[in-house]
Every structure is written in structure tokens, then in C-alpha cells.
A and B are shown apart, each in its own frame.
Chain A
Amino acid sequence: MALANKETTNVVQRRGTLAARKARLPLVSLVLGGLAFVAIMTAIPMAFLYAQTDVVQGPAQRIFYFHVPIASVGMFAFVVMAFTSIMYLWKRDERWDWAARASAEIGTVFITLTLITGSIWGRTTWGTWWSWDPKLTASLVLWFMYISYLMVRSYMGRTSASANAGAVIAIIGVFDVPIIYEAVNLWRGLHPAAQVGVPGALPSDVVLTLMVALAGFALLYSFLMLQLYQFQKLQTFAQRLRATVEYDM
């Protein structure tokens, strides 16, 4: 019995040091980070100097170049989280769970920023910080789902039960968001509709600036994804090592 314990301890420790050695970030993350930096640094002057001022909304419309990409990435992160959660339940490989949790953490930040930038814009254009519009309500509910996901994950620790619970929340959530959107849409609607891709709706400089910003934030997401995935991995290994030490004592 004691021998068996010693052996498992050794195995876990060896695995831990191996992981620590492998834990260095791949070069691709540096490249992604650099590209994200360049794209966002290009998008900022483009949004303020290159893109024309909106005739109706005035300079307040410029927040759109950050609000729309951040919102898109925040929602995309939820889809990634749900997809990786399904893969986790299917394949039973904890790497999928690390990816899901990493995506949830980034998505929470992005949706929080979406709500803040949207409120600032709403204040100047609608004259109110908040309205119960479908897009706003769906974003807010998405934000609540992200927060409750992270709360459950942090309450339950790094166990497989926690990973299962998180995966179920993500899957239920990804089915619920479109229904919530539809329900609030039937209830009331006010948010401006998407005009990208509608021919002649947006001037080309506006579309170009938006695309650069979108690319920048997408790159930022993939950069952060790699960082946080690595972070999740290290935390899991660190906790396992700590558990073996506590067991020996």
C-alpha cells in the first residue's frame, strides 16, 4: 500500500516536472501577440483619423470599431467554449476542458467590455445607458452565464466533476442564447441592425477599418487563448503536485 502510494507520487511528480519543462509557450503565441498588437495599433488611428465621421451619430459612432469586434469575439468565445465542452464530454480529455475554461475567461472580459462600450454609445445616441433591447439583453444574459460558469468552476476546484458541470452549463447556455434573443425580440427591439455586407449601406473606409479592428481582436483572442490554455494546464499540474505533497505529510 505504502509502496503503491510512493509510486503514484513519483509518477505524478515526474509528470509535473515534465509538464513544467514543456510549459514554455510556443513561438506561435509570440507571433499572434505581435500581429494582434500591430493590427490593433493600426485600427486605432484608422478609427479616429481615416474612417469618415458618421453623418447622423457624429463622432460617437467611432466606438463602433471597437464595440462590434469585441462583441463578436465575446460571442464567438462562448461558441468555442460550448464546442470544446462537447468535445470534453465526448473524448474525456482534460485538454478540451482547459480550452473551454480559457475561452470562458476571455469571453467574460470581452462581453464585459461590450456592455461598457455599448452603454457609453447608448448614452450619447439613445440618451440612456441601458435599454432592454434583444441584443443588449442577450449580451447581459451571456455575461451572467459566463460569470456563473466561472463561479461553479472556482467553487468546485479542479476536479472532473467541475469539468463536467462546466461543460453542461456551456451546452445548455449555447442553446439558450438564441432562444433568449428571439424571446426578447418578440418582446421589443431597438438596437441598430447589422449593416455590413448590405451593398451600399456602409462606405468602404468604414468597412475597412472595421475589418482591421476585427482582425486585431480575433488575433488578440487567439493569443490570449494560448496564454490562458497554458495557464490552466500549469494550474492543474501545480494543484496535483500540491496534493501529492499534502498526502505525503
Chain B
Amino acid sequence: MNPPIIDMRDVRKTYNPGTPVALEVLHGIDLAVREGEFACLIGPSGSGKSTLLNLIGLLEWPTAGAYHLNGRPIAQANDDERTRARLETLGFVFQFHHLLPAFSALENVMLPGLMRYGTHIPEQRRAATELLTAVGLGDALHKRPTELSGGMQQRVAIARALALAPPLVLADEPTGNLDTRTADGVFEVMRQFNETRGTAFLVVTHDPRLAARCDRVIELRDGTIVRDAPQQH
């Protein structure tokens, strides 16, 4: 069995703790995602999916519990350590793709490299071009996000998330904004990277069709994991 990239034990999240309006939204989450997995996180709106993804992505602090990222305890790390861990270990794909409009597709994909190395290195440009070609955008390298369709933008976002070859990509409803055909194409791109590069994916989705194509489905309901099971295709 592959070692876990994320390993959460009894993680809880309470908003406004210690106040009369305190609200616990996640109750004792135990979750591990291992290298090479392709897992989906499903559940109705308000079940705590986005909060859990933010905790996994180190964008929010858990109120209680233990969290190891790539074997390192990270739950109570300071902002700098968490920022570094995000850069080194995680890739993000958001529902509304969130590309930087001032940069071309290629530059968007090169940004993580610039962030890590502090300069543009030729290998980064080559890797970014290969990634964009792999997602079918080899002829749109220098186009701005506004010149690309929603599906194309989401492919650029996936390429950017993979730019530094992170072991895990977190995708928050990456197809939620796309029509069925485009959504299938984007999902297929993620599956390909999972199979060819071994990158683990944790995808939040509302779409049961896409969830059915994941290797593992984790279902969240009212802040608790109610199902966590592998799937056979």
C-alpha cells in the first residue's frame, strides 16, 4: 500500500469557537489519501466538503485533531510553513478556474515555478509547454484567459496545478461550471495525469456520473464521513 500523502485523525472544525454562535461543521474526520489515488468527495451542499478541502489544502486551521501532510505534522504549523507546504506538496484546481488574467496560459502555468525558484528557468518553460500540450492547448500557449473557453481555462488550471509535479491535486468542483461534454473532457485530463504520472487527485464533485468514474468515493453528510469505499469500474 502506498504511503499516505494526507493523514487526518479526528479532525474537527468549529467556526466562532467559544462564542454563543459557535458552529462545529466537521465532526471527527478520519481520512487518508495515498499516492496515486483518484478519489472523489461527494455530499450535499452544506455538508462541509469545501471546509474539508480547505483544511486539507492548508487554507484553514482545524480546531482539533491531527493532520500529517506527507508524513509531517502540519495542523498547528505557522502560516509560512503552511504556505511552503502548499507550494511543495499540493496543486489546486478551483471551480471558477481562477487563472490570473494578466498572464498568458503559458505564463499562468509557469507561475508556480517562478514562485519556487525565484526566476524563470528553461526547464520550467519546457515543462509548462509540455503540460499545456498534454491538455490539448499546445496552440493556445500565448492566449490570455479571456481568450479561452471555460473548458480550456479549466485545462490550463489543471496544467498549472501540476506544474511543480505535486503528489496531490485538490480540485474543488472543477467541472461544476462546465457543460457535460466539456466536463467529461476536463475529467478525462485529470484521469490521464493520474494514470500516466501517478499524481493523486481528490476531487469534490456534485456530478454522480463523474463520481462513478473515481476509484474511491468519500461521502460527507452533516460534517461526518458516512461512506468511504473503493469503486470497481
Query: Do A and B actually bind?
Result: no
